[in-house]
Amino acid sequence: MSYKELAVTGVQGLTPYVPGKPVEELERELGISGSLKLASNENPLGPSKSVQKALINELPGLHFYPDGSAYKLRSRLAQEHHLTVEQVTLGNGSNDVLELIARTFLNQQTSAVFSEYAFAVYPIVVQATGAKACVAKAYPVEHERMPYGHDLDALLNAVDHQTRVIFLANPNNPTGTWFEPAALQDFLAKVNPEIVVVLDEAYFEYMPDSLKPDSVKWLALFPNLIITRTFSKIHALAGLRVGYALSNPEIAELLNRVRQPFNVNSMAQVAACAALDDPMHVAQSVMINTQGLKQLIIGLDEMDLNYIPSIGNFISVDMKQPAAAVYDALLHRGVIVRPIANYGLPNHLRITVGSQQQNERVLLALDSVLNGSSDD
Ligand SMILES: *Cc1c(COP(=O)(O)O)cnc(C)c1O
């Protein structure tokens, strides 16, 4: 007997998510220090000072359970988005929300649709329920406007009679590709309202204004729409784990049935409220990213490297060879980036946009690995 045979069918076929390599692990393995991680799309600015203060103030109350309904944070989010509290569902990171959605709407008799190169959490949460994954072909490399971009027509065509959920990331990770707002709205209008559409906007704040869709307003038009957002990226709170969904109240009520009552801890609740009260930190984070992305692009162009056009806080770069060796060589220079072979992109490495100095360091290290130039 093996315990694997006893696991539910979905879990038997599951491969765990591989996160970016932690700095401590690399330094332990190589006996080095001062390494740099640009592998998990973390915000180089770090959390805002007012968030840090709010967290310190919260410490003496840690013996209490959190507010299970997280009323303050949900109210604050409702106010922020001009919605009602009943439309907000919190998660232990938005990954948790994605899982709540899968568990609410999927089982072995159903299917979910997402694109090739889509965020790796979608196949995991779908597979765990035993539902079928219908994967739509993305645009080819040669596509003029959006190489590796997600093809809304192909996504619609991938829908079958069992489909209950469609996952879309805008922009997507690890490609950084996006949808035109008008095309996305057309798509939503075409989807059968019995199919839930998850619009994952983890990088929303980083998008140029001209490409930001009026997605929150679409909630009034499309009752099957669920928008997910996170405090991990622009608010620099990845370590605390807090994200949320915006939806119609009926869907939120269903997600709440599956949700563990204390899925968002008290520190995370307090920090998220304080983060929403610090728009300067958000603006500064956007500015650092806009400049950093430009800096990386200039450096990559100088090295004659191709990359997938991105509007996130990361960029995926074609190494023109299997990227594993380049990844290893970068590790030996104390720089951690992200291999994305598991996404079907074996020649690409994803680089998170860092501070100016960090970007300079990753560019120099890359030049040294690929072109043998000195990086001292
Ligand atoms: C980073 C990311 C998230 C956010 O994950 P959290 O669980 O909120 O930290 C969600 N979707 C995508 C596409 C991401 O890249």
Domain-located, residue 238: yes
Q: Which domain holds residue 346?
A: 3-46+280-371
User: Residue 176 corresponds to which amino acid?
Assistant: G
Q: Please indicate, yes or no, if residue 168 is contained in any of the structural domains.
A: yes
Same structural domain for residues 293 and 271?
Answer: no
> Which of 278, 308, 325 is the last residue before a domain boundary?
278
In degrees and rounded to multiples of 5, residue 276 shows phi and psi of -65, -25
Same domain, 270 and 218: yes
Q: Do residues 197 and 237 both lie within one domain?
A: yes
CA distances from 309 to 151, 274, 297 (A): 15, 33, 9
Nearest CA to ligand 1 atom 12: 202
Considering the domain architecture, whether residues 23 and 126 belong to the same structural domain is answered as no
Q: Are residues 148 and 267 in the same domain?
A: yes
What residues form DSSP beta bridges with 166? Answer: 113, 197
Query: In terms of domains, do 274 and 178 share one?
Result: yes
Question: What's the rounded mean pLDDT across residues 359-371?
Answer: 97
pLDDT interval class at 375 (50, 70, 90): low
Cis peptide before 174 (omega within 30 of 0): yes
Does the structure show a pLDDT above 70 at 134?
yes
Q: With respect to residue 376, please indicate whether it lies within any of the assigned structural domains.
A: no
How many domains does the chain fold into?
Answer: 2
Q: Tokens at residue 104, please?
A: 């609410």
Q: Is the domain of 332 the same as that of 349?
A: yes
Res. 121: pLDDT tops 70: yes
Q: Which atom of ligand 1 is nearest to the CA of 233?
A: 1
- Helices 266-276 + 71-81 axis angle, to 10: 30
pLDDT the model gives residue 286: 98
Question: CATH no. for residue 254?
Answer: 3.40.640.10
Ligand 1 in contact with 99 (CB < 6 A)? no
Which residues face 317 on adjacent strands?
307, 349
Residue of 93, 44, 47, 342 whose CA lies nearest to 200: 93
Question: Does residue 253 share a domain with residue 109?
Answer: yes
Q: Which long-range contacts (CB under 8 A, 24 or more apart) does 73-80 make?
A: 73/242, 73/264, 73/269, 73/272, 73/273, 74/244, 76/272, 76/273, 76/276, 77/244, 77/246, 77/276, 80/276
Mean pLDDT, rounded, of the chain: 96
φ, ψ dihedrals at 47, nearest 5°: -70, 150
Residue type, 287: M
Is residue 236 situated within a structural domain? yes
Q: Do 91 and 37 have their domain in common?
A: no
Question: 93: CA distance to ligand 1 center in Å?
Answer: 7
Residue 294 Cα, ligand 1 centroid: separation in angstroms? 23
DSSP annotation string for 152-205: HHHHHHH--TTEEEEEEESS-TTT-----HHHHHHHHHHS-TTSEEEEE-TTGG
- Give me ligand 1 centre to Cα 239, in Å: 12
Tell me if 133 is assigned to some domain: yes
User: So what's the pLDDT on residue 13?
Assistant: 87
Q: Are residues 169 and 35 in the same domain?
A: no
Say if ligand 1 is within 6 A of residue 243 CB: yes
Strand partners, 335: 36
Q: Is residue 251 part of a domain?
A: yes
Q: Give the Cα separation of 225 and 248 in Å (integer).
A: 8
Q: What is the pTM of this model?
A: 0.96
Q: Is residue 199 a part of any domain in this protein?
A: yes
Specify whether 149 is located in the same domain as 246.
yes
Q: Point out the domain boundary residue: 278, 294, 314.
A: 278
Q: Report pLDDT digits (tens) over 162-210.
A: 999 999 999 999 999 999 999 999 999 999 999 999 999 999 999 999 9
Residue whose CB lies within 8 A of the most ligand 1 atoms, among 18, 94, 168, 207, for a mutation test: 94
Fill in the DSSP letter of residue 68: T
pLDDT (tens digit per residue) in 1-50: 899 999 998 899 898 888 899 999 999 999 999 999 999 999 999 999 99
**CA–CA dist 129, 121 (Å, integer):** 13
- Cα of 142 vs its chain's centroid, Å: 25
Question: How far is ligand 1, taken at its centre, from the CA of residue 1, in Å?
Answer: 37
pLDDT at 17: 86
Cβ atoms of residues 345 and 333 within 8 Å:
no
pLDDT at 374 over 80: no
Q: Last residue of a domain, which of 258, 278, 298?
A: 278
Expressed in angstroms and rounded, the spacing between residue 230 Cα and the centre of ligand 1 is: 7
How high is the pLDDT of residue 18? 85
Is residue 143 helix, strand or coil? coil
Residue 373 has pLDDT above 80, yes or no: no
Mutate to test the pocket of ligand 1, among 42, 100, 172, 232 (most ligand atoms within 8 A of CB): 232
CA torsion 121-264-205-236 (nearest 10°) is: -100
In a domain? residue 224: yes
